[in-house]
Amino acid sequence: DAKTTQPPSMDCAEGRAANLPCNHSTISGNEYVYWYRQIHSQGPQYIIHGLKNNETNEMASLIITEDRKSSTLILPHATLRDTAVYYCIVISGTSYDKVIFGPGTSLSVIP
């Protein structure tokens, strides 16, 4: 079973920040949080990952709470092309493990 829970859907106005939450209350010490997105029926695309510190790259920012039980993916200025299903997963970042996806959050960016 997936180790994360996410809201099934969210809307965001174009140009505004999209904040996508993820709960992972059973995360263990060596597990990382990874985010992916899937646009229409394409293959999922890796976005960002983190252990406990906040992370930022050219696509997004990842904020992980101090207790590591939840995280938020932030798309700072959402565009229509960011409309997609966003998946939050938790896996070991130090050894090979099954990678199980949950249903994700369907984000709609509205003009």
Partner 1 sequence: NAGVTQTPKFQVLKTGQSMTLQCAQDMNHEYMSWYRQDPGMGLRLIHYSVGAGITDQGEVPNGYNVSRSTTEDFPLRLLSAAPSQTSVYFCASQGQSFEQYFGPGTRLTVT
Positions that interact with partner 1 (CB under 8 A) = 32, 34, 36, 41-46, 49, 85, 87, 91-93, 96, 98-104
Instruction: Give the residue with the Cβ less far from partner 1, 14 or 32.
Output: 32
Name which of 14 and 59 has its Cβ closer to partner 1: 59
Q: How far is the CB of 22 from partner 1 (least distance, A)?
A: 14
In the bound state with partner 1, the residue whose beta carbon lies nearer, of 7 and 103, is 103
Instruction: Give 14 or 55: the residue with its C-beta nearer to partner 1.
Output: 55
Q: What tokens does 100 get?
A: 């199980």
CB 22 within 8 A of CB 6: yes
The CB-of-94 to partner 1 minimum distance in angstroms stands at 8
Q: Return the H-helix or E-strand segment holding 105.
A: strand 105-110
- The nearest distance, CB 14 to partner 1, in angstroms, is 25
**Residue 21, beta-bridge partner list:** 72
Query: For residue 99, how many C-alpha atoms fall within 13 Å in the half-sphere facing its CB?
Result: 13
By DSSP bridging, strand 45-50 and strand 55-56 are unpaired
